[in-house]
Amino acid sequence: MKWFVIVCVFAFFAGWWLNTETEAAKHKEHCLSKEIKSQEDDEEDDDGEEGTEIEDFYIEKYVKSDEEEYDLEFDVIGFQLRNVKKVQLKAPNGKKTEFKVKDALGFRSLSSEIDDYASSSYEDFQKAFPEGKYTFTFTPKKYESLNVYVKHDFPSTPVILSPEDGDTVSASGFTIEWEDMEDDLESLILHIDDDAVFFMDVPVTDTTSFNVPDGLLKPDTEYRIELRAQKNANVSDVYDENCSIRTVRRIDFFTELE
């Protein structure tokens, strides 16, 4: 009888100990699963918060006096760029170029350097940047890619009638005039700046003049006017973005002393 009681007591405590271990293991497994799930959710939120996108992609014909220059410029932005290790741009001719992602004031961006992609010869520019699909590929591969279609179909060069290049005008107000544009344009932008801190952009698609009011410009200062005609390639919906095609006419002028 004594041994029977001892065996029963031993069996009770052994069963309690095993059950406690099993519950502890289940609790540990549950906590571990919860931890892992939480991390996965965070990663999904991190990736899904904002995708990488093309903010600007265009080819440009830039005309000053009798000089012409052609260039390609782009800006790629996005939350995901902070984790991107490498970015590659592949042209239709198979040429591949790698870029570094820049962190400007806390914003992750990928931008072209104008001097690296400019040419005074249209033939050379066409060879360097032919028409067709351009693909941005990101590493790691989970960030996928962006496709852009480039088309060489520049709008006509805007003709600025007044002021003329090198003119001196009154700072108290004057009128900028240009010829009517017959192209099917997305926009026509009048840009004025002084190479320092002042600049302004004015949409002027439906007019051929702009009155510069008194007090806008400083006296005895050199300014630049750019009239920017722009349209899109609008090739197909299969592309993430279409390339903007710009033709810019530039003149320089001076304001009189007070």
Whether the Cβ atoms of residue 171 and residue 77 lie closer than 8 Å to each other: no
How far apart CA 159 and CA 179 sit, in angstroms, is: 6
Listed in sequence order, the residues at least 6 apart from 140 whose beta carbon sits closer than 8 Å to its beta carbon are 83, 84, 85
pLDDT above 60 (res 226): yes
The model's confidence at residue 111, banded by pLDDT at 50, 70 and 90, is confident
The answer, yes or no, to whether residue 37 has pLDDT greater than 80, is no
Let me know if domain 53-150 sits in CATH 2.60.40. Answer: yes
23 vs 75, more confident: 75
Q: How far is CA 218 from CA 9, 201, 221, 254, in A?
A: 100, 17, 6, 10
Q: Tell me the average pLDDT across 37-62.
A: 61
Domain ranges of the chain: 53-150, 160-227+251-255
Lowest mean pLDDT among 93-97, 143-147, 215-219: 143-147
| Structural contact between residues 174 and 212, judged by C-beta atoms closer than 8 angstroms | yes
Task: Tell me what pLDDT residue 235 has.
Answer: 74
How confident is the model over 237-254, as a mean pLDDT?
89
* Closest C-alpha to 204, from 162, 158, 140: 158
Higher-pLDDT residue of 153, 110 = 153
Lowest mean pLDDT among 35-49, 50-64, 117-131, 146-160: 35-49
Nearest residue to 89 (alpha-carbon basis) of 78, 75, 103: 75
How confident is the model over 66-94, as a mean pLDDT? 84
What average pLDDT does the segment 227-239 reach?
84
Terminal CA-CA length for the chain: 122
The class (CATH top level) of 160-227+251-255 is mainly beta
> Is 53-150's fold the same as 160-227+251-255's?
yes
Q: By percentage, how much of the chain surpasses pLDDT 70? A: 75
For residue 140, say if its preceding peptide bond is cis, omega within 30 degrees of 0.
yes
Q: Is the pLDDT of residue 239 over 90?
A: no
**Above 90 in pLDDT, residue 66?**
no
pLDDT digits (tens, 9 = 90+) for 133-192: 999 898 887 777 889 999 899 999 999 999 999 999 999 999 999 999 988 889 999 999
Amino acid at 257: L
Among 63-67, 79-83, 96-100, 105-109, whose mean pLDDT is lowest?
Answer: 105-109
